[in-house]
Amino acid sequence: MSEIKYTVAAQGRLLEALFALMEGKSRTTVKALLRHRQVQVNRRVTTAFDAPLKAGDVITVVAGRTPEPLQSPLLSIVYEDDALIVIDKRYGVLSMATDRERERCAYFVLSEYVKRQREDNRIFIVHRLDRETSGLMLFARSEQVKLAFQGRWREMIVERRYVAVVEGAMPAAQGEIDVPLAENSLYKVYAAQGGVEALTRYRVLQAGDEYSLVELELETGRKNQIRAHLEHVGAPVAGDRKYGAKGSPAGRVCLHACRIDFVHPVTGELFSFSTPVPASFKAAVASSGKRAAGPKVRPRSQRPVGRTPSSRSRR
């Protein structure tokens, strides 16, 4: 898919910027590019003539019409090209089909979508999100792209961040949870000295009397890592009864994959995508009232083993 990029020099509106950048093209032609979903701002398709721009934004004009937008209550497409698709998955939706649930999953929805474009098109999962977790997820449009990501994961996936509402207080305003994890016969992940290495960084965004809003960054990507680590430090994800939560202020497990930065496996370009904190998360923390500055100190018997917080540098 060929494309042309422009970097915005000053704030303004999209249509006026396109007229200036595409001098020589008729106004009708430029407007048609927007209608046909051929214009992206910072790698997100937009059809809004009056979309606001700021200096440094990147406008991309793609040759050829992009596919009609996917209409599904289970997920939305944030970005797609010939190599990959980035989606925003709703909570309660499986990443991959199971024996008991085949169609209500991200893989099935996207498979049907790409096959409508061409019958032999296929889709490949690059990484998964738990059923209860919402947010950004990456799919490849070929096995080669999937293997490129998975074979050089730490080089290609630059950053993954989540936001969570947790019960109570974190050990500090920011820090690391550096505790190995294992899985028991009931498929629950737990802190174990003989487990596999797992490191989660965190930062408290807002603290309330009952709940806190926390941003988390994965250094490793173990199964249920965030959920197990937060239970271990005595601040389980709200709504996550499997991992120790007592309440459910938003009627769901309050964990959302809010950001992913990666190196494009074909072009080598650094891509960054983010989604806002769910409104229900903010409401849950706001309704629990404000707590005095500084986290509460838990009784000694509840303090976690392992290094949390830690000042160890990024590996």
- The pLDDT score that the predictor gives to residue 29 is 87
Question: What CATH number belongs to 67-151?
Answer: 3.30.2350.10
Quote the radius of gyration of the chain (alpha carbons, Å): 22
- The pLDDT score that the predictor gives to residue 17 is 92
Please state the pTM of the whole predicted model.
0.75
The tens place of each residue's pLDDT in the chain, 315 residues long, gives 578 888 998 999 999 999 988 888 888 888 888 888 889 898 888 889 999 999 999 998 987 766 667 889 999 999 988 899 999 999 999 999 888 888 899 999 999 999 987 888 999 999 999 999 999 999 999 999 999 999 999 899 999 999 999 999 999 999 999 999 999 999 999 999 999 999 999 999 999 889 999 999 999 889 999 999 999 999 999 999 999 999 999 999 999 999 999 999 999 999 999 999 999 999 999 987 665 444 443 433 333 334 443 333 333
Name the architecture of domain 3-62.
Answer: Roll (3.10)
Torsions phi, psi for 225 (to 5 deg): -60, -50
- The pLDDT score that the predictor gives to residue 65 is 64
Residues 6 or more apart in contact with residue 120 via CB below 8 angstroms: none
Class of domain 153-315: alpha beta
Q: What is the DSSP letter of 127?
A: S
Q: 256 vs 24, 131, 189, 279, CA distance in Å? A: 45, 11, 19, 11
Residue identified by tokens 């061409």 is 118
Contact 139, 83 (CB under 8 A): no
The token duo for 269 is 């370009």
Answer whether the bond into residue 265 is a cis peptide, omega within 30°: no
Residues 36, 272, 39: CA angle, nearest 5 degrees? 15
- The pLDDT score that the predictor gives to residue 24 is 83
Contact 1, 62 (CB under 8 A): yes
Strands 12-13 and 75-80, by their bridges, are unpaired
The token duo for 238 is 């709200």
The token duo for 230 is 């937060």
For 217-230, give the secondary structure using H, E and C.
EECCCCCCHHHHHH
Domain 3-62 identical in fold to domain 153-315: no
Residues 264 and 145: their CA atoms lie apart, in Å, by 9
- The pLDDT score that the predictor gives to residue 290 is 61
Residues 37 and 67: their CA atoms lie apart, in Å, by 8
- The pLDDT score that the predictor gives to residue 66 is 63
Q: If you count DSSP H runs as helices and E runs as strands, how many of each does the chain have, helices first? A: 7, 18
Interhelix angle for 27-35 vs 14-21, to 10°?
130
**What SS3 class is residue 41?**
strand
Domain chopping of the chain, boundaries:
3-62, 67-151, 153-315
